[in-house]
């Protein structure tokens, strides 16, 4: 009756912050949903000069919480580190226990980048490969977030929590210049029992990717 069961805790807990994100060729093309960032890159100019902006690929991802690893119905282990929210794979996610209120994930760039909009899939957008359980409906889905940047800008927005909507939900930021973007969870809605399994009290973001 294996179903999203937590694995035994490791002997030593790993640090939850400062997960490096590898940058590989083709990463931008495989991202399924988008933290869309427009930037130019050239020599010279100040931070407000488009010619001075870096390529907007996350070089580090930090998070304030982390759910431990679990197993699917086939016994396959899964982990939920924050870098899994930027890997271009909708079946993986950053995930935390509880309703997520006040928890956050931060994407950092190697330098100033022009940020146009943020796209989020606000839940665990996965179907169990063994028994077909809908994990998106079973787990909590994020209802409201605050998006801030190191430049001091901030916007709050509502997200669609319908269990049938796993599409990227975009939030415009107006093309500002920033070195990091933080998404803070303000509220979420509970999941529901699926395929004979109880609802799970955890929150996740399946994908935030840089195009």
The residues, any chain, with a CB within 8 Å of residue 169's CB and separated by 6 or more, are: 119, 120, 121, 122, 159, 160
Mean confidence (pLDDT) of the chain: 81
pLDDT in tens, 97-126: 999 999 999 999 999 988 888 899 999 999
Q: Provide the pLDDT confidence category of residue 56 given band limits of 50, 70 and 90.
A: low
SS3 30: helix
Joined tokens for residue 18: 């400062």
DSSP notation for 146-202? EEEETTS-EEEEE----TT--S-EEEEEEEEEEEEEEEEEEEEE----BTTB--B-E
Dist. CA 56–CA 52, nearest whole Å: 12
Dist. CA 160–CA 167, nearest whole Å: 10
pLDDT in tens, 155-192: 999 999 999 999 999 999 888 899 999 999 999 999 99
Residue 5 is predicted with a pLDDT of 60
User: Above pLDDT 70, what percent of the chain?
Assistant: 73
Dist. CA 176–CA 112, nearest whole Å: 10
Q: What is the pTM of this model?
A: 0.79
Dist. CA 110–CA 210, nearest whole Å: 13
3-state helix, strand, coil in the chain (%, to 5): 10, 40, 55
Q: How many CB atoms lie within 10 A of CB 65?
A: 19
Whether residue 33 has pLDDT greater than 50: no
Determine which helix (DSSP H) or strand (DSSP E) holds 142, and give its type and residue range: strand 141-149
Joined tokens for residue 157: 């927005």
Dist. CA 184–CA 147, nearest whole Å: 6
More confident residue, 93 or 21: 93
What structural domains and CATH numbers belong to the chain? 17-205 (2.60.120.260)
């Amino acid at each position: 009756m294996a179903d999203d069961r937590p694995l035994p805790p490791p002997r030593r807990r790993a640090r939850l912050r400062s997960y490096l994100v590898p940058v590989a060729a083709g990463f931008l093309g495989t991202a399924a949903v988008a933290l869309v960032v427009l930037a130019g890159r050239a020599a010279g100019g100040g931070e407000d000069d488009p010619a001075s902006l870096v390529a907007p690929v996350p070089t580090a991802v930090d998070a304030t919480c982390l759910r431990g690893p679990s197993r699917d119905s086939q016994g396959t282990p899964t982990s939920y580190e924050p870098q899994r929210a930027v890997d271009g794979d909708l079946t993986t996610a950053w995930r935390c226990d509880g309703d997520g209120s006040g928890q956050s994930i931060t994407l950092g760039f190697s330098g100033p980048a022009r940020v146009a909009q943020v796209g989020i899939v606000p839940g665990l957008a996965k179907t169990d490969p063994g028994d077909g359980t809908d994990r998106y409906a079973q787990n909590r889905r994020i209802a409201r977030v605050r998006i801030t940047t190191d430049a001091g800008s901030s916007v709050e927005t509502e997200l669609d929590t319908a269990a049938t909507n796993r599409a990227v939900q975009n939030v415009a930021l107006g093309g500002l210049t920033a070195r990091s973007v933080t998404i803070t969870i303000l509220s979420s809605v509970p999941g529901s029992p699926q395929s004979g399994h109880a609802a799970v009290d955890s929150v996740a973001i399946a994908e935030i990717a840089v195009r």
